[in-house]
Amino acid sequence: MNVLLSLLLTRKFAAKILTVLIISIGAWTTYHLPLAEKPRFDMGKGNIITTYPGATASDIESNITSKLEKELLSISGLKVFTSKSESGISNISFELRSDVSKPDVVYQDIRDAISRVSDLPAGITEAPTLTIKKSYSLDFMVIGIAGDVPYSVLREKAKKLELALRRLEGIGEVHPIDLRNPEFIIQLEPISLKRYGLTIDDVASIISQRNALISGGRLEELSNNPELVTTAELNNLQALQETFVSFNPNLQLKDLASEIIDSYEKGSAYGTINGNQSILFDLRTNETADVVATSKRVKALLAQEQHALGKEYTLAIGSDLSADIQEKANIVQSNGLIGLALVLAVLAIFLNKRIALWVAISIPVCIFGALTVLASLGQILDVFTLSALILIIGIIVDDAVVVSDKIVSLVEQGHDINIAVVEGVKSVFPAVLASILSTMIAFIPLLFFPGNSGKLMYVIPLTVVIALIFSFIDALLFIPAHLKGVLKNDARLPQKPAGNFKTMNTLIRDTITHYKLILPISLIAITAMTTLSVKNISYLFFPTDGAYLIEVSAEANPKLSLDEVWQQTQQLEAIFESTPEVNYWYGEVSSPTSTWVISLTPSNKRTRIAEGIVAAWEEQLLDIENLNQVEFDIDGGGPPVGRPIDLRIVGGSDNGREQLANNVTEFLSAIEGTARVKRDINQPTPQVEAVLQHRWLNYYGITATQVGEIIKYAIEGQRVTRIFNGKEEVYFRVTLEDNDKSLQELDEITLRASDGRLVPLKELVRWKFNNTVAKITHFNGERVVRVSSSVDATITDPIAVYEQVQTEFSTKHFDGARIVPMGQILETQEAQTGFSIAIIIALVGIAIILLLLFDNIIESLIVLTVIPFGIGGALFILLLHNQVLSFFSIIGMIALIGIMVNNSLVLIWHLKDTLKDKGNLSDVEFVIKGTQSRIRAISLTTMTTVAGLIPLAYGFGGYDNYMSPMALIVGWGCIISLIVTLTIIPSIYLWVMKLNLVPQPSTNQ
């Protein structure tokens, strides 16, 4: 250190050049960092989606979902997977274990598992799609195009818009919704097939074999080496109509079909934006994109395209997270700037203006230095990083204040400037190092926090630790060099009058003098405050008071067609439209399940929170018929998306599972503090079952598969071949004409027996009418019923509710059915374990540092005494501000543990260091004078920390429901720490001195 100090002291501009260099590089790096809401991380989640048009939920479950789930069970890295099988689609969601170190290996295992399933139904023309969720690849914007024009015209415009979107800088993926594939639809006439002795699959086979494009290679024997190609593509409607079927009689395809049309596949869902039926585009950024900048490019493109399309078409935005990201970033930046101004004001008031300038420059040095390192580690500028920087705006000047205060005090005592700088740094070096390490150790365990919560807030401790390292370098190397120039030009500094802290000096003297009375009173007070707080404070890890997204799902009557469901859901969308807090929304309307995502106006610009809005909506739902179950999930912006209480009734028999689900629903409804209790309700959907007559199947040599395929051809139709028209793929679908899709007509459809005879379907099947379910859900391969509810955080919390459920049902049996917690319950339990470990590590680490510094257990324990006072006081502050104890509040408390120790450490170190100069002073007078001599440094460090946090804590520049409680905890905890450090800690030290437990300095010291 002496070498570095001497180097910087003898080279006048070295420290200034390094300071300017760090700030310049950091500013340039910050300007080019992309802005996002969350840090970049792999969420460890994904989906496997398989489409099978026309298939029932039972068919999907049996032939797709269960086969894929069987393979997934063999993958060790999976924590849980759930599935939903409904008409035409299988959707499996999975989540990796939190201890998986290489998620890409598990993802590859999942791909291998999918590829092992080789016996999926022939009607599946596209392989199952694996989608992996990353924080930067989620949908950030949804747009749509609508118009009062035929679908074919609208689709043409939509395709052009899709291509323009894909070319935009920053766009990684574009997922269309209701952009149907083109098809040639061949509608066969049963009567014509019967007349000419053909079956549906005969015609399908002819079309498939007729459509061909095969390369034969090059004819090298010819001089120009041409390629040989067999071309028989049916690339236009006329060629398809004139497809040759037979010689005798002379038949073409048009002779067998009532109509052959150039159209599109049947839609399974309608896209909707702000109540208008639209073709949607779900946009996702690439890894390096700035969300806000990309959103601006999309909006510019939409404005350009809208101008070109005219009023006949409407281009609309249904979701734009960039607006919410920018709003949150503005909140953090505004609060940060206000906090920075307050910190600078505090420094200007209490320090010499030239000294205050260099101390203030520590802030950009540490902030820009930290951002430069974060960028080199692949991080971006997200809301959590910005909040972490605000959290430490006041903290990073603490060490600079301590060092500058010590140097100035030595100069004021008449020491030579060079000696004052070197000796000042050396005297405070152990305390500064220990305080920096204690704060870092409080944050470091959070780097290893489990689950998606840990991935989300990982950047907070990382940012703090890096900034503290720069603070340490700046305080011990740059500040002394800067102050040498300042003090050299102002060698005669006036003595700072003690009157600047006259009131505090008096308070300290009175308190320490009556230490025997103060200690028990303070102990009783903090015990009472802590007890009162613990009993009355609410506990909700992930509050939703600042939520801006509401996810809605609705189950329509399965008997309704897609168009009828659309009419019913329009009533629900009218409720969204009439709500002033709704900014915009988008959704997918299908039968029976429809979903929407509602974007609310910023929480700072509305009077109702999301819970209040949902409660009002549920009252209006009573007037809507044929929507059997409407569920609202409030997305608070944290990792556990979904309702606070999310229970899965898994396994067992159908009756046992239903009975347990009903009992749990009833029990939850009776618990005080729960609200909007819901359970899955699978309304029966009508079904006609083709009961096979196996005796006749065997007689005619016809298989069950043949019967099923013929029925599928007749009703839903099947794709038999495809071509590429130069722009996109066009499929060929063979089916019956619409007015022939009845049971009477189906009875007359023929199949070819093994001996060539045509057998009518009525000889092979009997029709049976019954009911089935429209949706089947699984949990880890077993059937499941979901029961969920929200909670009133002022009354109860998810863990307390789940414990009551466990107590009630743990000893009861429901034919093998069991209760499995999900969502916030699991996330909260995981977080509790992580916090417990983090707090223990922080306390043990800080204790070890103190023992190494003081080499004495008693003095180390005195320093640690400030922690229970600070934590108890912080809990009491939460109670007074009507705040819940949340995930980020606890992070604030862990941070507070490291921060609180600093002032106490500096004071006890000072008393230990000056004990050899006690002389004839009494113990009381020694402690009083020693404490009073540290008022300026301790008060300044506290005031700068509090000044930097007050704006964020109280939302001067806008309130953030996650970060503001954390700032509130740390800010008020520091104030309590100041009071405790200047009154109770010296009183304890005096009491220990009276007991002769303080180690005395050696005689040669």
| Tokens coding 279 | 């073709």
Distance between CA atoms of residues 2 and 416, nearest Å: 17
Distance between CA atoms of residues 374 and 388, nearest Å: 12
The full DSSP string for 131-181 is EEEETTSSEEEEEEEEESS-HHHHHHHHHHHHHHHHHSTTEEEEEEES-PP
Nearest partner of 553 among 786, 781, 325, judged by Cα: 786
Do residues 937 and 906 touch, judged by C-beta distance below 8 A? yes
Nearest partner of 877 among 958, 947, 965, 983, judged by Cα: 965
Look up residue 271 and give its amino acid: G
Look up residue 881 and give its amino acid: H
Distance between CA atoms of residues 645 and 633, nearest Å: 11
The reported pLDDT for the residue numbered 696 is: 93
Distance between CA atoms of residues 970 and 963, nearest Å: 11
Distance between CA atoms of residues 316 and 303, nearest Å: 10
Question: What burial class does residue 718 get, using C-beta atoms within 10 Å of its C-beta: 0-12 exposed, 13-18 middle, 19+ buried?
Answer: buried
Phi, psi of 770 (to 5 degrees): -155, -170
Q: What are 167-206's pLDDT values in tens digits? A: 999 898 899 999 999 999 999 999 999 899 999 999 999 9
The yes-or-no verdict on residue 352 having pLDDT over 80 is: no
User: 490 vs 249, which has greater pLDDT?
Assistant: 249
Look up residue 704 and give its amino acid: A
Residues 6 or more apart in contact with residue 34 via CB below 8 angstroms: 288, 289, 290, 291, 293, 380, 381
- Give the CATH superfamily of 544-635: Ribosomal protein S6/Translation elongation factor EF1B (3.30.70.60)
The reported pLDDT for the residue numbered 3 is: 63
Does this chain's domain 42-134 share its CATH topology with 544-635? yes
Q: Are strands 381-382 and 35-36 parallel, antiparallel or unpaired?
A: parallel
The reported pLDDT for the residue numbered 488 is: 58
Q: Which helix (H) or strand (E) holds 453?
A: helix 451-457
Q: What are 919-976's pLDDT values in tens digits? A: 788 888 888 888 888 887 788 888 888 888 888 888 887 777 777 888 888 888 888 8
Nearest partner of 716 among 17, 6, 56, judged by Cα: 56
Cis peptide before 249 (omega within 30 of 0): yes
| Tokens coding 264 | 């599109």
Residue whose entry in the numeric block shows the structure tokens 């399965």: 558
Residues 6 or more apart in contact with residue 107 via CB below 8 angstroms: 46, 130, 132
Residue whose entry in the numeric block shows the structure tokens 């045509």: 758
The full DSSP string for 779-812 is ETTEEEEEEEEEE-TTT--HHHHHHHHHHHHTT-
Quick one: average pLDDT of 648-676? Answer: 91
User: 628 vs 975, which has greater pLDDT?
Assistant: 975
Q: What are 195-226's pLDDT values in tens digits? A: 999 999 999 999 998 888 777 777 777 777 78
The reported pLDDT for the residue numbered 277 is: 93
Q: What are 785-832's pLDDT values in tens digits? A: 999 888 887 788 888 899 999 999 988 899 999 999 987 788 788 888
Nearest partner of 898 among 513, 545, 395, judged by Cα: 395
**Largest interatomic CA distance in the chain:** 129
Would you place residue 496 in the very low, low, confident or very high pLDDT band (cuts 50, 70, 90)?
Answer: very low
Q: What are 36-64's pLDDT values in tens digits? A: 778 888 888 899 999 888 788 888 999 99
The reported pLDDT for the residue numbered 752 is: 93
Nearest partner of 719 among 706, 707, 731, judged by Cα: 731
Quick one: average pLDDT of 418-426? Answer: 80
Q: What are 748-786's pLDDT values in tens digits? A: 999 999 999 999 999 999 999 988 888 899 999 999 999
Distance between CA atoms of residues 186 and 488, nearest Å: 95
Has domain 16-37+325-491+500-541+829-994 been given CATH number 3.40.50.2300? no
Residues 6 or more apart in contact with residue 32 via CB below 8 angstroms: none
pTM here?
Answer: 0.83
Look up residue 274 and give its amino acid: N
Indicate the domain borders of the chain: 16-37+325-491+500-541+829-994, 42-134, 544-635
Quick one: average pLDDT of 7-34? Answer: 81
Mean pLDDT (the chain, rounded): 85
42-134 belongs to which CATH class? alpha beta
Distance between CA atoms of residues 452 and 220, nearest Å: 61
The reported pLDDT for the residue numbered 498 is: 39
Name the least confident of 65-79, 661-675, 862-876: 862-876
Q: Which helix (H) or strand (E) holds 110?
A: helix 103-116
Distance between CA atoms of residues 342 and 971, nearest Å: 13
The reported pLDDT for the residue numbered 1001 is: 63
The reported pLDDT for the residue numbered 489 is: 44
Look up residue 232 and give its amino acid: A
Would you place residue 397 in the very low, low, confident or very high pLDDT band (cuts 50, 70, 90)?
Answer: confident
The yes-or-no verdict on residue 511 having pLDDT over 50 is: yes
The yes-or-no verdict on residue 4 having pLDDT over 70 is: no
The yes-or-no verdict on residue 534 having pLDDT over 70 is: yes
